[in-house]
Structure formats: C-alpha cells, structure tokens
Structure 1
Amino acid sequence: MKGSFAKRITLFVLTNLAVVAMLAIVGRIIGVENLMVRQGVNLNLPGLLIMAAVMGFGGSIISLLLSKPMAKWSTGAQVIQQPRSEAEQWLLETVRRLARDAGIGMPDVAIYDSPDMNAFATGANRNSALVAVSTGLLHGMRRDEVEAVLGHEVAHVANGDMVTLTLLQGVLNTFVIFLSRVVGFFVDRFLSRSEDGEESGGTGPAYFITSLVLQIVFGIGASIIVAWYSRRREFRADDGGAQLVDPSAMARALDRLRMQQGEPAMLPSNMQAFGIRGGGMMALFSSHPPLELRIQRLVDGSWKR
C-alpha cells in the first residue's frame, strides 16, 4: 500500500542515519579516523574503506534488526496473541494462508489504530516478519480488498525487500562515508599547505567540516537511489500479491486508497514509463509509483509480462 513501504523506508533510513552518526562519533572519540591518515599526510585508503564498510553496513544491519520493534512502537501496533473477535480470527487465518502460499513462515499479525486505510510488513527474517493493518483499512474496505492488501504485504516479505534494502543501504552508506572523507582529506590538505609549499594536515577542521557537509550531500543522492529501488519493489509486490489473490480485488483496493488520498485518475502519458509523478526534483524522492499506474497494470494485465 502507498505510504506503508514509504513509512518503513523512512523509519529505516532515519534509524540507519542515527546509528551511522553514532558510530562516527564513537570512531572520532577513540581516534579511529586518525588511524586512516599516516603521519598526517598520506591517506590510508584500504583502512578508510574498511572503516566506511563497518560503519555503513553496521548502521543498516542494526536498523534492520530494530525494524520490527521500531515499527510497532511508532504505530502502536498490537500483535494479536489470541483473537478477540471474528474479524481478528479471519485476519489471522488469511495471513496464515497467504504466508503458506508464498512459502514463508507465519508472520506476527498486528492491528494499529488509524483512520487511514493502510498496512505494512517488516522484519529481518522472512520467516519471522510482522504484518500490520490499520483499523481504517479493516473498516473501510471489503474483505476481498483487505485480502489483496495482505497479499501485497506478504509479497514484500516473500521478496525479501527489507533485507535487500539493507544491503543496498549498506553499500550506499559505505561509498557516502568513504568518498566524503577522501574529498575532505584533500580539501584539508590543500588548505593547510605551509608557505614553503609543504603539505600537511588531513585531520584538521576543514577535513571534518567538508566530510560532514559532503556526507549530507552524498546522502541525499543515495536517498534518490533508495527511492528508485522502493518504486521498483512496490511494482514487484503488486505482482506477487496479484499471484496470491484476485488482481481485480487489489486494483479496487488501490482505487479506494487513490480516492482517499485524492489522486487523479490517470497519469500523464509522458510520465507513465517512469512511474513517478511530475513535480520537479521532489519526484525523484518518491518511494511509490503513482497509484493510477499501479491500478492500470493490474487492470490491463501488464503485470504478468
């Protein structure tokens, strides 16, 4: 569903950034970054790359491991331990059937209080994931439409989207950290030249200021790649969900969501191939393709190709 994967990615990225920042601060305090510079002049590229990989993948992996508790905490989702109503029993049985058909373990099933029609799935392990739906979804859609939404979320789990996102984010983190520090080193080295032309530095204020600014700039570029990946995975989750349930039910569910969010009925023809809405640079940061394009694929059967 639109907004569900977006919220998971936003939460994942923010947690990832916080962890990476924490690792950077710890590394600075204990002097790890200073070890990347030999005698204040020569940059230890292999050592820097290793440090960047440890920080980059460390941040993304920790974010993945925290994804379930963070998602439950941020939404207030309550896992169904014992069904208290026929609706909860139906929800559990439907997720169990879809998970079996998709070849994954039974996820935790949760409900969170929200008037918006939405759902999400997350977790580090495809056999121990979390699928949650909003009260607005349960009350605002027919059961075949809710089943279609659940099929979409189960497909996210079966496709391993969060794990793949973790690997992608780890690679991007690594290059963001590495490149920002390499450029920062040479900027600091240039600015700290002595009058006789000898070069020194590499760990001065210019290094840290430049590397910090560039980490933000490069991080923005990395977020564009993550958003592009998210749009591709959303199409794939639609395809997987369509294989698990009735594609027309999923199209109806997406159309209900489109009307709730007030999106137009048709994407301009010159933008359909890109799967993003016009809107300047901000379209590059969109985590979801337009709902009308997703609906069109389900209705005309192009998702099968």
Structure 2
Amino acid sequence: MKRILLFAATNIAVLAVLTIVCKLLGVDVYLAQTGQDFTHLLIFAAILGFTGSLISLAMSKSIAIRSTGAQVIDPSSPRSQTEQWLVQTVHRQAEQAGIGKPDVAIYDAPEMNAFATGMNRNNALVAVSTGLLQQMGRDEVEAVLGHEVAHVANGDMVTMALLQGVLNTFVIVASRLIGRVVDQVVFKNDRGPGMGYWITVMVLQVVLGMLASIIAMWFSRQREFRADHGGATLAGRQKMINALRRLGGNAGVSTLPEEVEAFGISGRMADGLKRLFMSHPPIPERIAALEASR
C-alpha cells in the first residue's frame, strides 16, 4: 500500500509540475484562446490513460488463468507430491517476503517458464509451466518461485500498471497539444479542431505510444534484475544462477499470451532496435548481474 501511495503521489506531483510549467509558458492561455482548457484536457487524459491499465490490473489474475488454462492448486488437497511441494515452497517464501500467500497454479506449456500476477501483494497468483517442472530440478524450480514471489513482494504488477497509466496520459496530452498547434500554424485553422488536428493526433499517438513502450519495457527489464536478486535472497544465489542458466536453453521462446508474457520469468529475445521493446534482459546479463553482486 505504501508503494502505491508513493507512486500515486509522485504521479500527482508530476502532473502538478506539468500544469505549472504550461501556465508559465502560456500554454493554458494559448489553449483558452483556441477553445481548449488545459486543466480539462489533463483530467480527461488522466482518466482515459489510467482506466485501461487499472482495469487490466484488476482483471489480471482471472485473465492469466483463463488465457493460459492454468489449474490452481487447492492447498488443502494437492493431487500430487509435486503440487504439495509447490504450494509449501511458495507459501514459505511469501512468509519470508512478508506478503500474503499467493494462489499457486500449473499451466500446460512445453517451455520452461513461470509468471506472477495479481492486483496486490496479498492477492496474487504464481504459476509454473509443465515444461519447467519436467526440465528443472527442485533447487532450480525453488529459485524460479523465489523470483516470482519477489515480483509480488516488490509490487511490480501494480507499479507497471501505474507507470503505463502515466505514459498513456502524457501521450494523450502531448498528441493533442501538438495537434492543435499543427492545425493552426500549418493548416491555418482557427475554428476548432480540423482535419490537421485529427491526423496529427492519430499519427502522434502511434509514434509517442512507441516511445512510451520503450520506457515501459526499460522499466520491465530493470524489475527483472530486482526479481532475480529477490529470488537469490529467498532461495540462494547459486540456485538462482543455475536456474537462469537452464532458462537460457529456452532461446527466448515463450508461448505465454501477450497479456501475460511480460510477467514471465523468460521472454522473447531480439536484436538491434527490437531490443528496446524487450520485456526481459538477456539471460547472460542477468547472470552477470547476480555474479557481480557477490
């Protein structure tokens, strides 16, 4: 809760600073002269920008279960020793991390992967693939579970949703401000939003949306490093390193649905400019970061 309040306060402060800067630069006066109100635009953009990301966060658990076909384990009656061990391990790590006990699930997929999601630290889901259980030893699986529990403890799902909301807000505001200027200066239109405005807005929402994605994916890669360190703390550094080495055999393969993929322990790899849109750092970099922190 403290993390959410701090992030929300930071976002409010950023929006307040933006409002002050626009007033000092006379943007609000310019907009008023052209029939637009900056405060109303900012409020509209914030509502629009945050609504989608917060709804996705609230539904993340049910969406993940439905899209992957994951089977949630009943802690009171696990169907096998493996299920019992998974539940016990996740709950023990959750207690160490100071969070509520997540639901634990298994989903059918050939590659080694796992993910965590949920609206808050005390109502989360940790799921592992059948491929991971078949190809990893228990020490390595324990490290993977520690990585996912660390994501939950760090509040990564909430932070990513809020960050996406802020980025959406700025994309909406910036595209409309620039669209208004282009409409007036280039198309000489002083009678309200015209064709130049709408074309500029549509183009800029795509361009600025891509830049926003680069920022979001950079943050996503940083949280993977933090979760690796969290997994090392909960399960042991060498176990985490061994698990990452084994994950390197995935060669960046992931069959997770797009809405869940960013929360997996292993994501798709890319070269060149496509690296900017990767949600996960390359495995060798993650291993090097753990080894360097000894």
Q: TM-score, normalised by structure 2?
A: 0.79
Displacement after TM superposition at 1:177 (Å): 0.3
Determine the structure 1 residue equivalent to 2:3: none
- Whether the 8 Å CA contact 2:270–2:278 is kept in 1: the answer is no
1:267-304 superposed Cα distances (whole Å, 9 cap, x missing partner): xxxxxxxxxx8832111112111101212233x3x235
After superposition, where does 1:53-202 map in structure 2 within 5 Å? 53-81=46-74, 82-193=77-188, 199-202=189-192
2:222 aligns with one of 214, 220, 232:
232
Aligned amino acid, residue 158 of structure 1: A
Write out the 4+ residue segments of structure 1 that deviate beyond 3 Å after TM superposition. none
The residue type paired with residue 286 of structure 2 is R
Confirm whether residue 280 of structure 1 aligns to residue 275 of structure 2. Answer: no
Deviations 1:85-131 (A, max 9, x none): 11111111111101001100000111100011000000111000000
Q: Structure 1 CA distance, aligned partners of 2:108 and 2:60?
A: 19
Report the CA distance shift for 1:262/1:177 in structure 2 as closer, same or farther (over 3 A). closer
In the alignment, the residues of structure 2 paired with residue 72 and residue 85 of structure 1 have an alpha-carbon distance, to the nearest angstrom, of 20
Does structure 2 retain, via aligned residues, the 8 Å contact 1:186–1:202? no
Contact 2:50 2:169 in 1 (8 A): yes
Structure 1 residue 42 displacement after superposition: 2.8
On the 8 A contact 1:192/1:201 being kept in 2, the answer is no
SS of structure 1 residue aligned to 2:293: helix
Structure 1 length normalisation: TM-score?
Answer: 0.77
- When the two chains are superposed, the root-mean-square deviation of aligned CA atoms in Å is 1.9
Asked whether the equivalents of residues 228 and 284 of structure 1 are also in contact (C-alpha less than 8 Å), the reply is: yes
CA contact (8 A) 1:152 1:241 kept: yes
Aligned to 1:11: none
Cα distance, 1:262 vs. partner? 7.5
Per-residue CA distance 1:116-151 (angstroms, 9 max, x = gap): 100000011100000000000111100011000000
- The answer to whether the 8 Å contact 1:145/1:249 transfers is yes
CA distance in 2, matches of 1:179, 1:61: 21
Work out which of the residue numbers 241, 247, 253 in structure 1 matches 2:237: 247
Tell me, in whole angstroms, the C-alpha distance in 1 between the residues paired with 2:142 and 2:116. 14
1:122 partner SS: strand
SS of aligned partner of 2:128: strand
Distance 2:220 2:119 in 1: 17
Which amino acid counterpart does residue 217 of structure 2 have in structure 1? A
Corresponding position of 1:27: none
AA aligned to 2:178 is V
Q: Which runs of 5+ in 2 are unaligned?
A: 1-30, 254-268
**Superposed displacement of residue 233, structure 1:** 0.5
Taking the TM superposition and a 5 Å limit, the aligned residue runs for 1:255-270 are: 255-261=245-251
* CA shift for structure 1 position 169: 0.9
1: distance between equivalents of 2:214 and 2:288? Answer: 25
1:190–1:168 Cα change, 3 Å: same
Aligned length: 247
Deviation of 1:235 after TM superposition, in Å, equals 0.5
Question: For the residues of structure 2 that align with 1:75 and 1:155, how far apart are their CA atoms?
Answer: 21
For residues 221-261 of structure 1, the C-alpha deviation after alignment (integer angstroms, 9 at most, x for no partner) is 00000111011100000111111011111111111111231
Letter in 1 for 2:51: G
User: Contact between 1:189 and 1:202, CA under 8 Å: does it hold in 2?
Assistant: no
The residue type equivalent to 1:189 in the other structure is Q
Counterpart of 1:295? 287
CA distance in 2, matches of 1:248, 1:235: 15
3-state SS, counterpart of residue 120 of structure 1: strand
Letter of the structure 2 residue corresponding to residue 227 of structure 1: M
Identity fraction in percent:
60
Q: Which amino acid in structure 2 is aligned with residue 237 of structure 1?
A: A
Mapped to 1, the partners of 2:81 and 2:270 lie a distance apart of 44
